[in-house]
Amino acid sequence: MSILVSKSTRVITQGITGNSGLFHSQKCREYAAECQPGVDVFVGGVTPGKGGTTVDGFPVFNSVREAREKTGANTSMVFVPPPFCADAILEAADAGMELIVAITEGIPVMDMLRVRRGLEKSTSRLIGPNCPGVITPGIAKIGIMPGYIHKPGTIGIISKSGTLTYEAAWQLGRVGLGQSTAVGIGGDPINGTSYIELLKMFQDDPGTEGILLIGEIGGSAEQAAAEYIKSHVTKPMAGFIAGQTAPPGKRMGHAGAIISGGGGTAAEKMAALTAAGVVVSPSPGGMGEAMLRAMQGRG
Amino acid sequence: MKIHEYQAKQLLRAAGVAVPQGVVARTADEAAQAFTSLGGSLAVVKSQIHAGGRGKGRFVEQPEQRGVVLVRSAEEAQQNAARMLGNTLVTIQTGAAGKQVSTLFVEQGLKIARELYLGIVVDREAGGPVLIMSFEGGMEIEEVAAHSPEKILKEPFDAVAGLYPYQARKLAYALGLDAAAVRSAEKFLPKICRFFVDYDCSMTEINPLVVTEDGQMLALDAKVTFDDNALFRHKDVVALRDLSEEEPAEVRAADTGLSYVKLNGNIGCLVNGAGLAMSTMDLIKLHGGEPANFLDVGGGADEDQVTEAFRIILADSNVKAVLVNIFGGIMRCDIIVSALLNAYEKVGFNVPLVVRLEGTNVEKAREMLQASGRPIIAATDLTDAAQKVVRALNA
């Protein structure tokens, strides 16, 4: 079992005629073909104005609605450039996509506020933006992560960061733990899906036995997650927070990674998670070990 | 991106937000003329630098001179300006090196009845903008939040609809403003909230926000920060950028498409991905070292970018060792190593270099490193890398 991505997932790519949109659609198609031979998981793409053409075997449509009707897709992977990305996400929601995975980095915050408002009336779930995507190892990946570092298993990963998630998956592999699903929620201040929503999904997923939460400085989403964990999560958990040495007032790469007004520090997030019973690794080198300790009930 | 107070006030004025009359001066004579043209008996001469704390700040060359002063004549304006322009202002936010003042803003003096605080930010958890006001004008909002949180009022508003007049009145009454000031707030507050949204601000702070004796609400100070991701649609804002206020190495890095933040330690870091780059700094610190920088080369860095990244790191004379930490995902490790070896040749390394590689094509990359014959220290995992770089530093 897994969350978000299953054998019924069918994906179209918005922005498929762009360089990275096409490249990653190809990589995702290869991975899915290895996992589910003979099944077409990545069924096409959308670029307004290029409908009716094909690109490397992917049929291209003018709109998400048309793509959904003609391919049966239920999921969209979004690579549309930042100035137009909010519009693309809203179009996917309007077309009834169940899952929208937005990889694009650099969407203005005001645009994301409008997206969030637009999604309130929708049943679509948005993951990201500014994220590596979602992978259920052995089934499919929707995003830019390298497939081979993720092994099938029973740990759910929720992370704000891309390469740090790869690092975590690799460390889990070294201690013999695979993943049910790994989800990047993105490094932007406003995103589609919170830690709490994913914690709930992993808690309810029979295929997930433990959860690794990777956070970073900025905002208070990790503290809110800690509150939720206390009363709702019974599965063993480990965690790590990036940015313990970051200076206040400086944006550390991710738009959301900034300590402002004395709030959003790594120390307060680590303390909140520890108080909620999460095994927190102070070192990024200890994420796998921390998860193993949590699974063995050693805290 | 940040801008100066006088620039922020120009934008605010154009957006219909009330600000005092003011004139920009770049020479002492211009400051005197500004006083005369304002036509009052009182004016304020304000140093224009991005850092806060200017009123209490002092000049390195003129220790008696403050960064913001009240003056009562054109002559006084001129004398103060002469002691400020071209000199270095040190405030609580500039660091010991201070900032050179090249522009002054001369503003009319006002008869002030109340000093309040106004701030607008995006509340991440609520998913919308929020207007924050406090009774304590002139005080840092963090300080008020810590000592008397009951003096802070928060009013979330809709980014599309803006702040409704009833919300402005609600705040004005809660702040105990009189009838004339409530009417002024009813205009002022929705307009500044509209400005925040229309200009894609990440923060707008008016501290102090004043109410004059005749009941007018005005922005006495203005600190505005913009969302860098939205600058593509605000060419007028980009034109206001003052590069002299920014760290040169950070500007250089940004021009190359790198994300770099200078720190005060001596171990330079080159990493792919923001989360991993932050974690690498943490790792160094945990093992007793001090990171010299945050540097994310991104997911698709090419050889030129990696070379420039090394140049930026090594240009920092504090750097005594370098740690490269790459988790190759889509980016292949052998490409990184090829770039690294070329950069090594071009840039010229005179400090120890520790390299930790993992991910796609890592075996090939390790062989390339070995075959290069360069005195590069290879590390197997994060902990090993941190230990080796700290040891290399102390050797």
The answer to the question of residue A138 being in a domain is: no
Residues A290 and A165 in one domain: yes
Query: What is the average per-residue pLDDT within B213-220?
Result: 97
* Chosen domain end from A127, A162, A182: A127
Give the pLDDT score at A100.
98
Higher pLDDT, B221 or B340: B221
CATH code for position A266:
3.40.50.261
Residue A268 lies in a domain: yes
Q: How confident is the model at residue A255 (pLDDT cuts 50, 70, 90)?
A: confident
Across B168-187, average pLDDT:
97
B162 or B340: whose pLDDT is higher?
Answer: B162
CA atoms within 13 A on the CB side of A149: 24
List the single residue in B145, B232, B275 with the smallest CB-CB distance to A161: B275
Distance from first CA to last CA of chain A, Å, rounded? 26
Q: What percent of chain A has pLDDT over 70?
A: 99
- In this prediction, residue B328 has a pLDDT band, given cuts at 50, 70 and 90, of confident
Interface test with A, best of B278, B285, B356, B388 (most A CBs within 10 A): B278
Q: What is the dihedral of CA A61, A65, A67, A68, to 10 degrees?
A: 180
Is it the case that residue A137 has pLDDT exceeding 80?
yes
- Give the residue numbers spanning the domain of A153: 145-295
CB of B279 within 8 Å of any CB in chain A?
Answer: yes
* Same domain, yes or no: A94 and A222: no
Q: Is residue A241 included in any domain, yes or no?
A: yes
A73 and A21 share a domain?
Answer: yes
pLDDT computed for residue A227 by the predictor: 97
Give mean pLDDT, residues A237-241: 98
- The distance of B314 to chain A (nearest Cα, Å) reads 20
**Residue A124 Cα to chain centre, angstroms:** 15
The pLDDT of B227-247, averaged and rounded, is 94
pLDDT level of residue A299 (50, 70, 90 thresholds): low
Is residue A150 located within the same domain as residue A270? yes
Q: Give chain A positions within 8 Å (CB) of B129.
A: 113
- Amino acid sitting at position B77: A
Residue A103's CATH number: 3.40.50.720
Q: Is the pLDDT score of B126 beyond 70? A: yes
The answer on A277 and A161 residing in a single domain is yes
If one counts the domains in chain A, the total is 2
pLDDT of residue A292: 97
Are residue A119 and residue A153 in the same domain, yes or no?
no
Residues A122 and A213 in one domain: no
Alpha helices in A39-162 (DSSP H): 64-71, 82-94, 109-119
Question: What pLDDT is recorded for position B298?
Answer: 81
Residue A53 lies in a domain: yes
Residue A121 lies in a domain: yes
Partners of B141 on chain A (C-beta within 8 Å) are 261
Q: Which of B339, B213, B326 is nearest to B272 (CA)?
A: B326
Whether the predicted pLDDT of B22 surpasses 80: yes
Confidence grade of residue A254 (pLDDT, cut at 50, 70, 90): confident
> Percent of chain B scored above 70 by pLDDT?
99
Q: Do A110 and B200 touch (CB under 8 A)?
A: yes
pLDDT at B148: 86
For A63-87, the pLDDT digits (tens) are 999 999 999 999 999 999 999 999 9
What percent of chain B is predicted at pLDDT more than 90? 74
* Residue A4 is assigned to a structural domain of this protein: no
pLDDT at B261: 94
Q: Do A253 and B278 touch (CB under 8 A)?
A: yes
pLDDT of residue B342: 85
Output b/e per residue, B123-158; b: 16+ Cβ within 10 A. bbeebbbebbbbbbbebbbeebbeeeeeebbebebe
What is the dihedral sign for C-alpha B385, B386, B388, B393? positive
Closest CA to B48 of B25, B82, B78, B30: B25
Chain B 343-382, residues with CB within 8 Å of chain A CB atoms = 358-360, 381-382
Indicate the residue among A92, A127, A162 that finishes a domain: A127
Same domain? A182 vs A99: no
The average pLDDT across A133-161 equals 95
Q: Does residue A146 have a cis bond before it (omega within 30 degrees)?
A: no
**Catalytic annotation present for B367:** no
Q: Is residue A139 part of a domain?
A: no
Residue B299 has pLDDT above 90, yes or no: no
Q: How far is CA B1 from CA A162, A243, B204, B343, B377, in A?
A: 25, 21, 12, 31, 39
Contact: A247, B275; criterion CB under 8 Å? no
- Would the pTM of this model clear 0.90, i.e. be above it? yes
Is the domain of A263 the same as that of A157? yes
- Which of A97, A127, A157 terminates a domain? The answer is A127
SS3 B115: strand
Q: How is residue A57 annotated by DSSP?
A: T
Q: B342 CB near a chain A CB, below 8 Å?
A: no
Residue B125: pLDDT band (50, 70, 90) is confident
Q: Is the pLDDT of residue A153 over 90?
A: yes
Mark whether A180 and A258 lie in a shared domain: yes
Same domain for A207 and A68: no
What domains can you pick out in chain B, each with its CATH number? 21-108 (3.30.1490.20), 112-238 (3.30.470.20), 248-394 (3.40.50.261)
**Assigned domain for A273 exists:** yes
Looking at the structure, tell me whether residues A280 and A175 fall in a common domain. Answer: yes
B286 pLDDT more than 70: yes
| Residues B362, B354: Cα–Cα separation, whole Å | 16
